Structure 1
Amino acid sequence: MTSLAFPAPVQVKTSDVRHDINSVREALVFLNQWPKGRRGPVYSCAVRSCNAAIAGQMTAEQARQAFVSFARIAGVLARSDFSPLAGADQKLSVSGRSL
């Protein structure tokens, strides 16, 4: 069985309350509670991506990326890091030199 857990939580903020969305199923619950009048194409893409991940047709990370896109466009993304590795102090190197 494929894991539906996100590699890193997506933090969203609604009504001054922060929520950590930790899995595809939690993202789908959040999306299903979204006001019908505010649903659009990015919302629909996020819902389809979550359902595809549950069906095993997409990875949890792909569904997470769709959910992050929705949250960012909807204005509810609480943090500016859009990937699970954001915030990690990593430096790329070329020929052994740090950039």
Structure 2
Amino acid sequence: MREGSIRSDIELQAPVAIAVGAGFKREITSLTAMQNFLKEWPPATQDESYITALRSCEAARAGEIDLDKARQAFLVFAKKAGIEWTGADPVVKLREAKIRRSRARESRTQNRHVPG
């Protein structure tokens, strides 16, 4: 890649999955999608990893770094921001935890009433 040449949108070889909303998965599939997501990130939570990810996207667009380096910077940002997709659906996890608590309460209640 020639240094200083501006690149149009580039598809990522492997999309970046992030968690948005109430356990919904969003796949970031291109350089433009990464940049747009970062530009919409709340200013109050823009930390060093955010700045690195945004600058990396800009450098990839300019052809100064490989797209994979920008993707890696975005992944670091996502992890630090707590939005990295882990594959675990939070709604399902909360439901499972509620069921476990309910069963534990039932078990304790039954054990108290067992004649001894």
Q: TM-score, normalised by structure 2?
A: 0.64
Other-structure match for 1:76: 83
Identity %: 35
Q: Cα gap change, 1:79/1:7 in structure 2, threshold over 3 Å: closer, same or farther?
A: farther
Q: Which amino acid in the other structure matches residue 9 of structure 1?
A: P
Structure 1, residues 36-58: CA drift from partner, whole Å, max 9, x if none? 00001110000000000000101
CA distance in 2, matches of 1:41, 1:4: 25
Equivalent of 1:4 in 4, 10, 19:
10
Secondary structure at the residue paired with 1:76? Answer: coil
By percentage of residues, which structure has more helix? 2
Q: How many residues align?
A: 80
List aligned pairs for 1:7-26, cutoff 5 A. 7-16=13-22, 17-26=24-33
Equivalent of 1:48 in 45, 55, 66:
55
Q: TM-score, normalised by structure 1?
A: 0.74
Other-structure match for 2:35: 28
CA distance in 2, matches of 1:69, 1:5: 19
CA distance in 2, matches of 1:30, 1:51: 13
Q: Once superposed, what is the RMSD of the aligned Cα atoms?
A: 1.7
Contact 1:53–1:60 under 8 Å retained in 2: yes
| CA displacement at 1:79 relative to structure 2 | 2.9
Secondary structure at the residue paired with 1:66? Answer: helix
